[in-house]
Structure 1
Amino acid sequence: MRSRLALSTAYSLLFSPVAVDDLFNRLQAMQVEQVAITDRDNLYGYPVYREAAKERGISLVCACLLTERQGDLFAFVQDQKGYELLCTLISKRNLDPSFSYLPTLKKTSEGLVLATTSSAILSQLADTGAALYGAISPDSLQIITTAKKLAVPLLAIDGAFLLEEGQREVHRVLRAIALHKSVGSLTEEAYIQKGGILLRQEEWEQAFAPWPEAIEHAQILIPYDPFSSSLIFPTYPVTAQGSAEEELKNRVYLGAENRYGEINDAIMERIDYELGIINEKGFAPYFLVMHDIVQMSSRTCGRGSGAASIVSYSLFITNVDPIAHHLYFERFLSPSRQDPPDIDVDFAWDERDGVFAAVFERFGIEHCARVANHNRFRLRSAIRETARCYGLSDAQITKAEETLFMKGVDALLDPLWQTIVRIATALDRLPKEISMHCGGLVITPKEITRYAPILRSADGYPLLSWEKEGTEMAGFVKIDLLGNRSLAVIRDTLQNLREEGVSLDERTWQPAEDAETVNALARGDSMGVFYIESPAMRQLQKKTGRGDFAHIVIHSSLIRPAANKYINEYVQRLKGKRWEPLHPRLAYILDETYGILCYQEDVSKTAVALAGFSQADADQLRKIIAKKADGKRLQVFRDQFFAGCEKNGVNPSIAEQIWLMMLSFDGYSFCKPHSASYAMVSFQSAYLRVHHPAHFIAAVLTNQGGYYRPQAYISEARRMGLTLTGPDINTSRIAYWAEGNTLIIGLMAIAELSRNAMKRIIEERKQGGWFSTLEEASHRLALGREDLVALVASGAFDSLAPARKRSDQLRILLTTTRSHSCNGQADLFSIEQPHYKKEQLPVAIQRPYSEGELHREFASLGFLRNHHPLVLYAHLLSSVHRIKACEIDQNVERYVTLIGYQITQKQVLTKTGECMSFVSFEDETALYETVLFPELYKRLYPLLAGRWPLLVFGLVKNDEGALIVEVQNLRKLGS
């Protein structure tokens, strides 16, 4: 058997440049039958090369290179005990870089085969009873003498970390990046490992020909696979008399009574059906754990396919009734599905860290770990990092980048830059570093280190070595706990309302049934509303004129980029265009979406209905498409689909149309339960926007939540007829808040104001009441110059000195502060300070602000308190002949000139790969949408990089009821 041992891949981070696929393609070509990858002190890549080996029919030995001061030690896993020991050892090194493996291995190495090229290590382990070898490689034979002396057998290894000599320069750059040095400063002896090239099989055999026993020993290692065939999720402690299944049933029935009031036969039947599958698969503890977790926060949104489950709904893990909304449970769980349950839960973004802390406390830190991200080199960053390694400055790099990405690599005439680009291209997509997944979590029945090596995240969490796919491959049931700003928006809006005595009973709150909310969404009035506030979504709403729950669910799934070519057809069908299902068997599946495949499960349902797929195969097809997989696996399913369609009498051209529509689900797409869960949050947001707009916009701004910058929401607040006030030293809180129809800008809006100053203002106001004069505010607050400058620039003191210029306000504040500092604090506290009340404050007098004051206010806040930012350009606007944005609807099919203050833009690629852009602009009166087609965008895109107002010349078009300006030209205002 051809066995090659101790090879390194790019998962030996910042050391080896060998990509996993390149290595295994080479091994396959060499007809290697067994391999052991030994990356340095980690198993980061094990799931990846496990999959690569399986695809190529190569046996894989789980192994690792353990680095010691005295040299390298190779550990080959032979059974579960050996795997658990290796995971424990690697974890200890991760947590303590000074940790030495040797003391532990001297005591026990059960389940591991050890080999070393170091005479010192071999001598220490020789008498321990370990399965031990002296490792010889084509580049390292010095262990032979010591091995013979100690009677330790030899093992032939490769020790290769390069596929060819040409990769050596990439290895040098990786080492330079790791050590924060230049390439020229690296020495072979200290930093760069010699040799290490993977030999061809005949060369390898020739190199070891004098030691045939070493080759024989390489054949006897066991390719033990440590990944469990069963799923790994926590057990759940219940009473001695009960079981997890009984506990789950009790909780579900109790929850169902709270949800439905009365449990009818249909509900009972669905609960029993789901519980039967859940219990059969042993998932009851998982649902109990999830039930515990969702009770750790004020608001949650369980989403993903789990929202199709009435068990999840009854446990308040999800919030959408799967019966009322006809959600497909089999997308979540079915008897034939091998995948574990997958429930993603959103929490208010500022509560999620607390939830994680509570989970670790509840289930034990030794049983929990966060999931990792494997961050990779991207070409742009690889170019910059490589160039730095060759001693180039950031200015030199930026200049060369402009040439490179505008004109191509051939325009870089300097040979050094040719080298840099060549190396950076080799680095592109290689793993670079480990970080933490935003929400992934695993909980295990035994200590986490029995299942995988762990690291420690930057904020102190145990961190699994593998990213999402590897975690799932290892058998872990991953739980995703994610942050959602809109849940905090809803929470804060309701809290603000309760302060005014307005309380919503959420048990009976049905925002999706509110006519005003439905009508607002049908008009596209949804800025700030969760998930449906983007320009594309608001335009779709305007085109369809539908704002009911069922259509919002459809739209939030159909809006994915790959479905663009189907959206217009959908809109036309919705408006009455005659259509027939592509095949009669699809009628019952796609009627609700007008014959268009919309949800992920539509792919599975279609494969079952037309091609006779099993539920399991249909779900695998959906997954492969969603992951943008291609090649052999997709081709196998394509052949199966067309063969099944032919067998069932489906016209080949129809099958081809349907297959192409199925392929549009590559990458970003939703299942219906996920869309329905999001739609519920959207309706709660939309209801609050419609009925309590000031409180809602205040919460949106506080949570920095949404698609747009604060200026856009401030403008929207004015268009909604709200009164804006603040920031004000007396009325502003740190957060934005509302009272009636008035939105009070928070101190958090002031860019240069320190957090300590904000807290100081609030605390002093609570203790001593409101401030009545500048002098008093200065005395009581005792703030530094920077904070006072920030407050004055924002207008926070205007109500205390309405007639004074802000420069005068600052002079008085600073003079009083200096006087206070010179006299000491005794004078202030020897005089009894009055408790100023709101009623004692003078009424602020609005005075005209100077141009300089307005510019400083805009710089401080990012918007103006009382005006649209275009007022800053009034001197340039006076001579412009234009229409106002609110008049666009009166100018359809006309060429118009508008003023454009940019709100947001989205760059997209055409079918031919050209860039174009959709840009949202506004003026003082309204928001409007524009499109720049490729030729124009290529010429004018630099104008969109800044925030200076533009003159927009274009043709107003009515696209199925949504107005858009097709831009013909852009020009900087005043140019």
Structure 2
Amino acid sequence: MIASGETTGIFQLESAGMRRLARKLKPNKFSDIAAMVALFRPGPMQWIDEFIAGKNNPRLIHYPHPDLKPILAGTYGIAVYQEQCMQIANVMAKYTMAEADRLRLAIGKKKKAIMTRERNRFIEKAQAAGYKKEIAENVFDLIERFAGYGFNKAHSTCYAMIAYQTAYLKAHWPVEFMAALLTAEAVGSSGPAKEEKIALAVEECRRMGIKVLPPDVSQSKVGFTIEDDANSLNGMAIRFGLSAIKNVGEAAIKVILDSREVGGEFKSLMDFCQRVDQQKVNKRVLESLIKAGAMDKFGKRAPMLSGLDKIRAKGVISQRQQANGQESLFENPTSLGEDSLPDMEEFTRQELLSLEKDLLGFYLTEHPLTPILSVLASQRSHRIYDLRQIEKKGQPVKIGGVVTGLRIVLTRNQAQEMAFAKIEDDSGSIEAVVFPRVFLKTRECWVKDRIILVKGRIELREETQNLVVEDASPLEASEENVSAKDKSAVGWDFEVKIPSQMSPRKLVELNKLLKQNQGKDKVALLFVDNLGRARRMVLPFGIDYNENLRKKIKEIIGE
């Protein structure tokens, strides 16, 4: 598992750089893991390739002197640890270990006068022990290179032990391990880091074949828990924890769990509002639970959100009646218990997924790309997850995904617009950089929630991997790319982009035109402001979309 780089959640080994190192090194013993921990830091990184070459081909291992083989053999001829540098000084120059430790400290300070003195002393003592001056000089150069960066072996070994233990748990108890990891990230992190870590862990669950069930106020607990599910790995799925939903705090969760413990599962939204303390489970918490899908068993989200105020008010009345003992054969709280939800359409599929993304930090139940995956698969060169395997800087790639994060900035020198975007597909996400020339050419693509195709090249910087964008085009708006069936699955048939500078008069004109051409095709209006932020509105009526209407729309919006 470690050798394949599948180390999400493994202590010290889960970064992108560590995964690449694991795949190249293919560790097959504990000492390899300890060496990975020691080498993967600024400084020692320069010797990683030499270390890997020595492991994969013993004939490439070189020892400065045969006497040093017992010291360096375990690390393929590379002095990885501080203790190795001390042992070399002990063997060749007959330093005591205390003297060797002082040598290590002196080299670490990098003071020229001290270094010169120690160098002369080492060479003299090595010559006195029978070694040639040239060899002694070469060996001191080796010590000087490594001692300043070398890692303490005990420290590295302790880290490696924890890494091995967590990897063992993941390999042998995968569902239990991932549930514990998700809970730890939900409780121990905060802000964007929390969302990103949970999203990565859920992504790993999907790769492993573990189902992650959506939150449910009648089933979920504080953290992520395990439930039986024949369609998941080892017959077990993971239920989403309430603590991972935005705006749902510890106090609210405690009230929900205590109410469930006393009265059993909640039967409806009204039942929920009658039984929980609404000061702690306030309107914001309730809205977040509904939007996140934790109350889907009670009804559709749009009607529940629309009717929430009335139901909450009835719940408060019911609680007051119970507190005042106002119960009789003719008047009791249960008479208020029916949900009176408004009769209205549910949100579109895209809107439901956007709500889920806002409250959970990622798409859980389904990805927006699901309806067009067959189209996307034929257009892209890589899934985003597979980009992790790329080790060649500048390699050209073509990916498709949703713009889930966007920051538009001005360059310092010429005040030109450029963008930093997060692009996500069904397998993962990557940070993309869009420089001014490309941004100007592809401006319509850089809108949150837009589905796009991107051509670019991979940039590698130690642990991070970025995509430098060279071209981009919208995928969802392309007639040849999205079939009628695919488009209906996203909640609309056609999309009209409304420029930020469009006047109210033009909007009225557009509205009139669309109403004059009503039909069966659903249309969405995409409003984009000057900062690239977007809001999509699906019209309540259909239109008869044709080439003539398309031309008239373009005349009005000026595109």
**Length-normalised TM-score, structure 1:** 0.37
2:179 to 698, 705, 712: 698
Which residues of 2 match residues 185-204 of structure 1 at below 5 A?
A: none
Q: Does 1:755 align with 2:250?
A: yes
Q: Does 1:736 align with 2:230?
A: no
Partner of 1:723: 211
Which residues of 2 match residues 774-853 of structure 1 at below 5 A?
A: 774-781=269-276, 782=278, 783-801=281-299, 804=300, 806-822=301-317, 825-827=320-322, 830=327, 850-853=349-352
CA pair 709-940 structure 1, distance change in 2 beyond 3 A? farther
1:679 to 138, 141, 160: 160
Q: Does 1:622 align with 2:92?
A: no
Partner of 2:353: 854
Q: CA separation in 2, counterparts of 1:939 and 1:660?
A: 47
Q: Does 1:571 align with 2:73?
A: no
Q: Which amino acid aligns with 2:36?
A: H
Q: Does 1:864 align with 2:370?
A: no
Q: Which amino acid aligns with 2:204?
A: E
Q: Does 1:768 align with 2:266?
A: no
1:689 Cα deviation after fit? 1.4
1:574 Cα deviation after fit? 0.9
Alignment root-mean-square deviation, CA: 4.4
Q: CA separation in 1, counterparts of 2:368 and 2:250?
A: 26
Q: CA separation in 2, counterparts of 1:761 and 1:732?
A: 10
1:972 Cα deviation after fit? 6.5
1:544 Cα deviation after fit? 1.9
> Is the contact made by 1:719 and 1:926 (CA closer than 8 Å) also made in structure 2?
no
- CA shift digits 1:360-405 (9 cap, x unpaired): xxxxxxxxxxxxxxxxxxxxxxxxxxxxxxxxxxxxxxxxxxxxxx
Q: Which amino acid aligns with 1:787?
A: V
Which residues of 2 match residues 4-153 of structure 1 at below 5 A?
A: none
1:815 Cα deviation after fit? 1.4
> Is the contact made by 1:712 and 1:903 (CA closer than 8 Å) also made in structure 2?
no
Number of residue pairs the alignment of both structures matches: 411
Name which one, 1 or 2, has greater alpha-carbon Rg.
1
Which residues of 2 match residues 470-509 of structure 1 at below 5 A?
A: none
1:554 Cα deviation after fit? 1.9
Which residues of 2 match residues 247-646 of structure 1 at below 5 A?
A: 520-576=1-57, 577-626=59-108, 628-646=109-127
List runs of 5+ in structure 1 lacking aligned partners: 1-519, 834-846, 905-918, 958-963
Q: CA separation in 2, counterparts of 1:869 and 1:606?
A: 59
CA pair 891-680 structure 1, distance change in 2 beyond 3 A? closer
CA pair 946-745 structure 1, distance change in 2 beyond 3 A? farther
Q: CA separation in 2, counterparts of 1:547 and 1:699?
A: 26
- CA shift digits 1:438-464 (9 cap, x unpaired): xxxxxxxxxxxxxxxxxxxxxxxxxxx
CA pair 594-900 structure 1, distance change in 2 beyond 3 A? farther
DSSP 3-state at the match of 2:397: strand
1:660 Cα deviation after fit? 4.8
DSSP 3-state at the match of 2:296: coil
1:883 to 371, 381, 400: 381
Q: CA separation in 1, counterparts of 2:169 and 2:422?
A: 24
CA pair 632-550 structure 1, distance change in 2 beyond 3 A? same
Partner of 2:399: 898
> Is the contact made by 2:369 and 2:401 (CA closer than 8 Å) also made in structure 1?
no
Q: Which amino acid aligns with 2:288?
A: A
- CA shift digits 1:856-889 (9 cap, x unpaired): 2211111122134766x979x9699312327779
Q: CA separation in 1, counterparts of 2:255 and 2:118?
A: 64
Partner of 1:440: none
**Length-normalised TM-score, structure 2:** 0.63
DSSP 3-state at the match of 1:867: coil
1:901 Cα deviation after fit? 7.7
Q: Does 1:924 align with 2:426?
A: yes
Partner of 1:187: none
- CA shift digits 1:199-248 (9 cap, x unpaired): xxxxxxxxxxxxxxxxxxxxxxxxxxxxxxxxxxxxxxxxxxxxxxxxxx
Q: Which amino acid aligns with 2:80?
A: C
Q: CA separation in 2, counterparts of 1:863 and 1:889?
A: 20
Q: Which amino acid aligns with 2:166?
A: S
Q: CA separation in 2, counterparts of 1:581 and 1:901?
A: 52
Partner of 1:360: none
Q: Which amino acid aligns with 1:763?
A: D
CA pair 631-733 structure 1, distance change in 2 beyond 3 A? farther
1:796 Cα deviation after fit? 0.9
1:594 Cα deviation after fit? 0.6
> Is the contact made by 1:610 and 1:650 (CA closer than 8 Å) also made in structure 2?
no
1:761 Cα deviation after fit? 0.7
Q: CA separation in 2, counterparts of 1:725 and 1:538?
A: 28
Partner of 1:124: none
1:902 Cα deviation after fit? 10
> Is the contact made by 1:899 and 1:952 (CA closer than 8 Å) also made in structure 2?
yes
Q: Which amino acid aligns with 1:789?
A: E
Partner of 1:655: 137
> Is the contact made by 2:396 and 2:458 (CA closer than 8 Å) also made in structure 1?
yes
Q: CA separation in 2, counterparts of 1:879 and 1:693?
A: 29
> Is the contact made by 2:270 and 2:315 (CA closer than 8 Å) also made in structure 1?
no
Q: CA separation in 2, counterparts of 1:629 and 1:903?
A: 47
Partner of 1:907: none
Q: Which amino acid aligns with 1:756?
A: A
> Is the contact made by 2:89 and 2:122 (CA closer than 8 Å) also made in structure 1?
yes
